[in-house]
A and B are shown apart, each in its own frame.
Chain A
């Protein structure tokens, strides 16, 4: 079918060292220019799923196809241009300026012997501006708060200019205003045709932002579909194993959870 940019078919995955199976015959299709959210309890395999699409984790059974081609057929560089990844947290060991750090996102566009040039610096500055940190371009990354760090990681992936963006809990450390900022950035990226998949623990954000929702539950159960079909009290209660109610106030979905 046209418009499908990421296609997983019957993916199963087991962490060998821990001997725990995480995914079982999972299939998933992401359409170009759509925002999708993965919800599910801790440790259920949300990040694993992102890393499989990224190619960092290879699966023994099932296939991953990107733009109709098998993932294995892509070179590292092509993959870097195709998919950006924003980790939930990143340990930084050395003192970079924000600008230098964000510039690292240009890597898939430069060959091994190249350093970033003027054009790359401009792209990096634009990305910092987009996340609202342009005034801190020369500041050290070591002094960032958790939330600012998440903004910097997002900026680095913007610099990568990839068609697909995978984000691991991109709003987990952010205050309300910054959450809204990221929501807006992701919406703009969507308008630009970028396909977005992110994990989250906040159904409300998924309701507000996403076209498509993937719920991952115990025993490899997966519920997926458009948000209105999947984001129901009954399904959320089952996934999180606690009573959950969804109320609608002024057209916005609010999630209430109880003991």
Chain B
């Protein structure tokens, strides 16, 4: 008899609950009227508190939720597709491409949110496309190693491009903007930014979520996936484009946020095992929890905000070392 049917449903619900709790608490945490937790009752009496919560904190929290879900979900997609637990969207020129695109928009184009997002998405997808095309032309090694090699090269070209633009940027106005953007943070997010990035990233995440079980099959050798009745190329492309577009959209408002896409899928697999029908939604929820937590720390721990990218890197890398030392990361080959 089958003991366990649809696995991990209960744990997923617990995670969802945790996310709701984190979200609700973070909404009332801040530096008004004083540092710490603000009583929800204040909403009824204080119009400034209302404005603060609904016009500033809520869109920012929703964006950090989307950011965490997107980075963790995309990280999972990349790890499964490359059968490699140690990759994240930073591979294949996605992150550096988006960063280059944003810096390019800040310096040479009109630095409006739409232009920055468009330019970041364009260069992220171009980074993916370039990595893919170069990988197809390389004549040695397996497909995965070829793709990663060309991704590293494309990323390096983009980051030297960023270096040139930092060098060329106006040190008074543009350079600080690029620098802060490269560190990553959500302090400038309002409803406007959220509404710009939400439709496209939500759609891409929905595609990934609905097709998630197929990710398992893409982690197998290509001929095995093929023999199981799917075209690995076609599905790989659908997943990679969805993950890249969603990541680029978020990066265009948040700047570069590292480590979420690497560490969260790991934790999710530890808790839910590798089957993506449960580990992918879990990674998305955990990503939301993780990013909301980090962004809240970034927001309230000092009077001047710490860039979110610094916090995620610090906590993410710390957790990563912890997991490594615990021998919980199993990498064969």
Give residues in A with beta carbon < 8 Å to B.
17, 51, 54-56, 76-81, 83-85, 87, 90-97, 99-100, 104-105, 107-108, 110, 112-118, 121-122, 125, 138, 142, 160
B138 to chain A, nearest CB (A): 12
Q: B275 near A: Cβ within 8 Å?
A: yes
The docked-state distance in angstroms from the alpha carbon of A51 to that of B222 is: 12
Q: Which residue of B lies closest to A107 (CB)?
A: B228
Question: Which of B2, B213, B230, B273 lies in contact with A115, CB distance below 8 A?
Answer: B213
A17-B139, A51-B223 known; A76 vs B230 contact (CB < 8 Å) = yes
A54-B226, A80-B227, A95-B330 known; A90 vs B274 contact (CB < 8 Å) = no
A94-B269, A115-B277 known; A107 vs B230 contact (CB < 8 Å) = yes
The docked-state distance in angstroms from the alpha carbon of A105 to that of B4 is: 18
Say yes or no: B83 contacts A93, CB within 8 Å.
yes
Say yes or no: B332 contacts A116, CB within 8 Å.
no
6 contacts between A and B (CB under 8 A): A79-B229, A81-B229, A97-B275, A107-B228, A116-B277, A160-B228
A78 contacts across to B, CB distance below 8 A: 229
Say yes or no: B221 contacts A85, CB within 8 Å.
no
A56 contacts across to B, CB distance below 8 A: 223, 226-227
Task: Identify which of residues 66-106 in chain B touch chain A, using a CB-to-CB cut-off of 8 Å.
Answer: 80, 83-85
Task: Identify which of residues 131-170 in chain B touch chain A, using a CB-to-CB cut-off of 8 Å.
Answer: 139
A113 contacts across to B, CB distance below 8 A: 210-211
Q: Which residue of B lies closest to A81 (CB)?
A: B229
Question: Which of B4, B83, B220, B230 lies in contact with A80, CB distance below 8 A?
Answer: B230
Q: B333 near A: Cβ within 8 Å?
A: yes
Question: Which of A99, A108, A110, A125 lies in contact with B213, CB distance below 8 A?
Answer: A110
Q: B214 near A: Cβ within 8 Å?
A: yes
Given known contacts A79-B229, A115-B212, A142-B330, what 5 new A-B pairs fall within 8 Å (CB)?
A: A90-B221, A93-B83, A93-B85, A96-B274, A96-B275
A80-B228, A108-B228 known; A93 vs B210 contact (CB < 8 Å) = no
A90-B220, A96-B275, A113-B210 known; A105 vs B228 contact (CB < 8 Å) = yes
Q: B219 near A: Cβ within 8 Å?
A: yes
B205 to chain A, nearest CB (A): 14
A100-B273, A100-B274, A121-B2 known; A80 vs B229 contact (CB < 8 Å) = yes
4 closest Cβ pairs, A-B complex: A80-B229, A108-B229, A94-B274, A85-B227
A54 contacts across to B, CB distance below 8 A: 223, 226-227
Count residues of chain B with CB under 8 A from any CB of chain A.
39
Q: Which residue of A lies closest to B213 (CB)?
A: A115
User: Which one of B80, B216, B269, B274 has the greatest number of beta carbons of chain A within 10 Å?
Assistant: B274
B8 to chain A, nearest CB (A): 11
Q: B55 near A: Cβ within 8 Å?
A: no
The docked-state distance in angstroms from the alpha carbon of A85 to that of B227 is: 6
Q: B179 near A: Cβ within 8 Å?
A: no
Say yes or no: B227 contacts A91, CB within 8 Å.
no
Say yes or no: A84 contacts B269, CB within 8 Å.
no
Q: B217 near A: Cβ within 8 Å?
A: yes
Task: Identify which of residues 11-37 in chain B touch chain A, using a CB-to-CB cut-off of 8 Å.
Answer: none
A96 to chain B, nearest CB (A): 5
Say yes or no: A92 contacts B332, CB within 8 Å.
yes
B301 contacts across to A, CB distance below 8 A: none
A11 to chain B, nearest CB (A): 18
The docked-state distance in angstroms from the alpha carbon of A104 to that of B216 is: 8
The docked-state distance in angstroms from the alpha carbon of A96 to that of B279 is: 11
The docked-state distance in angstroms from the alpha carbon of A122 to that of B5 is: 9
The docked-state distance in angstroms from the alpha carbon of A112 to that of B235 is: 9
Say yes or no: A77 contacts B273, CB within 8 Å.
no
The docked-state distance in angstroms from the alpha carbon of A91 to that of B221 is: 8
Say yes or no: A90 contacts B224, CB within 8 Å.
yes
A137 to chain B, nearest CB (A): 8
A54-B226, A104-B220 known; A96 vs B273 contact (CB < 8 Å) = yes
A121 contacts across to B, CB distance below 8 A: 2, 5
Produce 1/0 per residue, B252-282, CB < 8 A to A: 0000000000000000010001110100000
B146 to chain A, nearest CB (A): 13
B5 contacts across to A, CB distance below 8 A: 118, 121
The docked-state distance in angstroms from the alpha carbon of A113 to that of B212 is: 8
Q: Which residue of B lies closest to A112 (CB)?
A: B211
A94 contacts across to B, CB distance below 8 A: 80, 83, 85, 219, 269, 274
